[in-house]
């Protein structure tokens, strides 16, 4: 089951968010996995960032994997931080938000970008998913 919270904060329709989530889950062969995507304020994500990453201030996306059974975990996104990053990268807000939804799901599925080879694999898969699920 996919649960989406706070989508009104994004300016996107829930169907667009669901398409990104379902596309990412299908790409990692976890179509039936349970996952939540929550859109929160900068203040809320800054609190989570401080608590779980010991990093001060807001970030655009955090992933909290459960790794148990069908429950992949939770993706938490700050639309305000995503808007700032999109502007800094010269990317549309919609496109960037779509990208970080997919990115967060891939982290839940065990992908990372800490090592060079792993980063390249994750980026290729991310691009493949984005090309299939573009809004």
Phi, psi (degrees; rounded to nearest 5) at 67? 65, 15
- Cα 89 to chain centroid, rounded: 17
Do residues 61 and 128 make contact, with C-beta atoms less than 8 angstroms apart?
Answer: no
Alpha carbon distance 135, 131 (integer Å): 9
Contacts of the segment 49-55: beta carbons below 8 A, 24+ positions apart: none
Residue 105: closest CA among 75, 69, 68: 75
User: Cα(109)–Cα(77) distance, rounded to whole angstroms?
Assistant: 17
Calpha distance 98→70 (Å, rounded): 23
Which pLDDT tens digit goes with each residue over 44-98? 999 999 999 999 999 999 999 987 778 999 999 999 999 999 999 999 999 999 9
- When the pLDDT of each residue in the chain is averaged and rounded to a whole number, the result is 92
Question: 93-108 and 79-89 helices cross at what angle (nearest 10)?
Answer: 110
pLDDT digits (tens, 9 = 90+) for 15-43: 999 999 999 999 999 999 999 999 999 99
pLDDT at 119: 79
Q: Would you list the domain boundaries of the chain?
A: 2-133
- From the centroid of its chain, how far is CA 5? 13
Q: At a CB cut-off of 8 Å and minimum separation 6, what does 114 contact? A: none
* Third-level CATH fold of 2-133: Collagenase (Catalytic Domain) (3.40.390)
């Amino acid at each position: 089951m996919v649960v989406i919270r706070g989508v009104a904060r994004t300016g996107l329709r829930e169907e667009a968010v669901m398409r990104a989530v379902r596309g990412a889950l299908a790409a990692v062969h976890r179509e039936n996995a349970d996952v939540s995507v929550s859109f929160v304020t900068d203040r809320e994500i800054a609190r989570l960032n401080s608590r779980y990453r010991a990093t001060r201030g807001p970030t655009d996306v955090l992933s909290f994997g459960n790794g148990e059974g069908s429950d992949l975990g939770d993706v938490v996104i700050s639309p305000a931080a995503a808007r700032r990053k999109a502007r800094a990268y010269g990317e549309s807000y919609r496109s960037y938000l779509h990208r970080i939804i997919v990115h967060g799901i891939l982290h839940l599925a065990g992908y990372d970008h800490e090592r060079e080879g792993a980063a390249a694999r994750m980026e290729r898969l991310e691009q493949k998913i984005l090309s299939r699920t573009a809004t």
